Amino acid sequence: MNADRTDYRLSDGERNMLLFPQEGETTVMEGWTEEEIKDKNLMAPCGLYCGACGVYIATRDNNEKFKEVIGNLYGTKAEDTECYGCMQSEPPKKLYGYCTMCAIRNCVRGKGYYSCHQCDQWPCNMIENFGLATGVRVMKRTIPLWRAKVAELGDDDGSVEWARAELNRYHCPVCKKSLFRGAKRCRTCKEDVAKVLDGTL
């Protein structure tokens, strides 16, 4: 680390952040552990990365209030608003109800792929006709990025760096606190973030 550089490490239990990494330093972000970033269970094949999903974050943090808020958004009970990532092996520990019925997930698994970025038919009708316009925007942004990372670094490292890039995106531009995909406002500083992230539902 350069001696003339201020070290901006923030700590919150196991989740911390190095805001300005220098060459050779590992970037660890507030809100997620390195283990989570490498977790293939969270690498949703459609590109809606599970690590940034409010359902996953509420489950991971055992945050009942957040489960209730997210459940109200999607029309599910708080106790049913739980998930540890859509690519868990069968039988999954906790898989959100909508994810169990996901045609995109089933298609990818049926083709023997782990992601839509491997498919030469992408974007297909399942992507174009996805139920939420925000989801379509996110998928169309993330799958090309995933392809590029894999082309540059290979399947394993490229997928991890794609996940890292996704999580890096979900931080408040003002206070740098972690967010979830779909956030309208930062929970910490109350900054409106929807326009700089994915828009509204």
List pLDDT tens digits, range 134-160: 899 999 999 999 999 999 999 999 999
Average pLDDT score over residue span 93-107: 94
Between these two residues, 28 and 111, which has the higher pLDDT value? 111
Q: Which two tokens stand for residue 3?
A: 């001696």
pLDDT given for residue 201 in this prediction: 57
Q: Residue 43 to residues 159, 186, 189, 194: CA-CA distances in angstroms?
A: 8, 24, 29, 23
User: For position 16, what pLDDT does the model report?
Assistant: 38
Q: Which whole-number Å values give the CA distances from 68 to 4, 13, 115, 178, 198, in the listed order? A: 46, 24, 30, 19, 22
Closest to 152 measured CA to CA, from 119, 117, 121: 117
Mean per-residue pLDDT over the chain, rounded: 85
**Residues of the chain above pLDDT 70, percent:** 85
> How many Cβ atoms sit within 10 Å of the Cβ of residue 172?
20
DSSP state of 180: -
Entry pTM = 0.82
Model confidence at 88: pLDDT above 90: yes
Residue 12 has pLDDT above 70, yes or no: no
Q: Residue 88 is encoded by which pair of tokens? A: 């868990």
Query: To the nearest whole percent, how much of the chain has pLDDT over 90?
Result: 74
